[in-house]
């Protein structure tokens, strides 16, 4: 993962006639990134958060354009699949056959 400290921010751009008209734009090592928001307040909040990360000396990922702390937070989140898999592994050996079938059916239904 290539990280860079070369981050620049632009003003929030308003794009009328769009579903999310306010756009936060920045570059990481010369590569443009953007996120769109419904309100200007949300866009200003996101821009401030990104700028704070840059001011604190945090590196940004060149591929995603996100600060390192946000990438770490995303990686640490447990996915639903992992949670369901761990649950079944925990219960499988001590569960009777019909209950196994019921558990598998229930998890297959809510996972989709």
Determine the pLDDT at residue 91: 87
Q: Are residues 84 and 56 in the same domain?
A: no
Q: Which mean pLDDT values do the consecutive 10-residue runs of the chain (112 residues) have? A: 92 94 96 95 97 95 92 79 86 89 89 78
Q: Are residues 72 and 93 in the same domain?
A: no
Q: Are residues 9 and 45 in the same domain?
A: yes
Residue 28: give the domain boundaries: 3-76
Strands 22-28 vs 13-14: parallel, antiparallel or unpaired: antiparallel
Q: Are residues 10 and 65 in the same domain?
A: yes
- The Cα 11–Cα 23 span in angstroms is 9
Determine the pLDDT at residue 85: 86
Determine the pLDDT at residue 90: 87
Q: Are residues 67 and 30 in the same domain?
A: yes
Q: Are residues 97 and 42 in the same domain?
A: no
Q: Are residues 29 and 63 in the same domain?
A: yes
Q: Are residues 32 and 67 in the same domain?
A: yes
Determine the pLDDT at residue 51: 96
From 58, 66, 63, 84, select the one nearest 5 (Cα to Cα). 58
Determine the pLDDT at residue 82: 84
Q: Are residues 19 and 71 in the same domain?
A: yes
Q: Are residues 40 and 12 in the same domain?
A: yes
Total count of domains within the chain = 2
C-alpha dihedral over 102, 104, 107, 112, to 10 degrees?
A: -120
- The Cα 85–Cα 97 span in angstroms is 17
Q: Are residues 70 and 87 in the same domain?
A: no
Q: Are residues 17 and 67 in the same domain?
A: yes
């Amino acid at each position: 993962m290539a990280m860079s400290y070369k981050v620049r921010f632009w003003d929030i751009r308003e794009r009328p006639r769009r579903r999310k008209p306010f756009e936060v734009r920045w570059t990481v090592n010369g590569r443009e990134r953007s996120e769109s928001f419904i309100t200007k307040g949300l866009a200003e909040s996101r821009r401030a958060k990104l700028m704070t990360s840059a001011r604190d000396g945090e590196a940004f990922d060149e591929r995603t354009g996100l600060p390192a702390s946000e990438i770490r937070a995303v990686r640490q989140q447990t996915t639903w699949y992992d949670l369901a898999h761990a649950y079944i592994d925990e219960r499988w050996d001590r569960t009777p056959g019909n209950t196994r079938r019921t558990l598998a059916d229930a998890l297959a239904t809510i996972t989709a």
